[in-house]
Amino acid sequence: MHIRCVFLNFVPRITNIMEKHAITIRDIARALNISVSTVSRALRDSASISAERRRLIQQYAHEHGYHPNALAAALRTSHALPKSNLIGVVLPEFEHYYFASILTAIEETCRENGYFVVAAQTGDSYERERRVVEAFHRQHVAGIIISQAKDTTEYAHIEAAIADGIPMVFVDRICTGVRTSRVVVDDYAASYAATEHLIACGCRRIAFLGSTMNLEISKNRFIGYRDAMHRHGLQVDERLVCQCDNRGETESTVPQLMNLDEHPDAFFAINDDTALGVLYTCRGMGYRVPEDVCICGFTDSILARSSDPQLTTIAQRGRDVGRMGAQVMMDTISGAIPEGHYVSRVVKTQLVVRGTTRN
């Protein structure tokens, strides 16, 4: 039996194993208090770094047992060295329908191209993400496909892996501060369409339940909501814009909003889990959906089709995101996307109108 996908939930174990290996470019940069890119250029003997600085960096690397990623170099230059057939996948969680769909499609596409997937979940923790990426880095995987954790605001672990020649592809949650290939959905257009649909239903006080603005998806979805409101001459009430991105948080957030003198007549939620929390909280307070309150989510999960009434939502097409992200990785490894070139792919979404909004 062939195992195609391994889930690494116990990160300390793989981290401890990796600690036996040589230092990375990131370790050198931290020790010398210089940037990862400076170390990378110096180790490549780039003339953009002074001869003295190159000598010092190279000497430190030699003395501390640094070994470059020979695998990645071989992939770039077609030298006949043994290849890794492992693709590391780093996702916020596996249980969520959307990320599970992404992972399934990544595994299928990688398998079709002769690669195995090793996957780990971060639980939306920066520290866990850092440790996972560094473990994959030290393993010299053929590439890493990643969706950023909510807490991540510092990217040295990403830059170090890239500088050491490991291809990196972001999916859904991207890092705009690092040059990598990426696959995203059209968050702005989707959010605009969802808000415009709620306005067409006759709603005027539309609450936006989003996530941390560290994430580009959160920013883009909020801007889409805001622009649609302004386009139709409606003011955004700041009291109705909340960071609330899971079902549990709706139990405290929604009653506060519905107890306002001018309470919301609609909710646009950043994901289906939150939207369903709104649905059941509002109904528990005695409001009718969609007669009194309209609700729109974002994902189109199985639960969206199982709720009563069924949830109006944005179909996010996780399988398409995963398949496209894996294909970009395959093209990068094969050289179809040349070294130093990066691509951006956008997966189109679709508004799916069901029973939580008025037709």
Question: What are 283-340's pLDDT values in tens digits?
Answer: 999 999 999 999 999 999 999 999 999 999 999 999 999 999 999 999 999 999 998 8
The enclosing H or E element of 282 equals: helix 272-284
pTM equals: 0.79
CA 112 – CA 115 distance, rounded (Å): 7
Q: Which residue has the tokens 């067409």?
A: 200
Task: Compute the average pLDDT of residues 94-111.
Answer: 95
pLDDT tens sequence across 209-240: 999 998 999 999 999 999 999 999 999 999 99
Cβ atoms of 250 and 209 within 8 Å: the answer is yes
Cβ atoms of 326 and 143 within 8 Å: the answer is no
Read out DSSP for 95-142? Answer: SSHHHHHHHHHHHHHHHHTT-EEEEEE-TT-HHHHHHHHHHHHHHT-S
Task: Compute the average pLDDT of residues 66-89.
Answer: 62
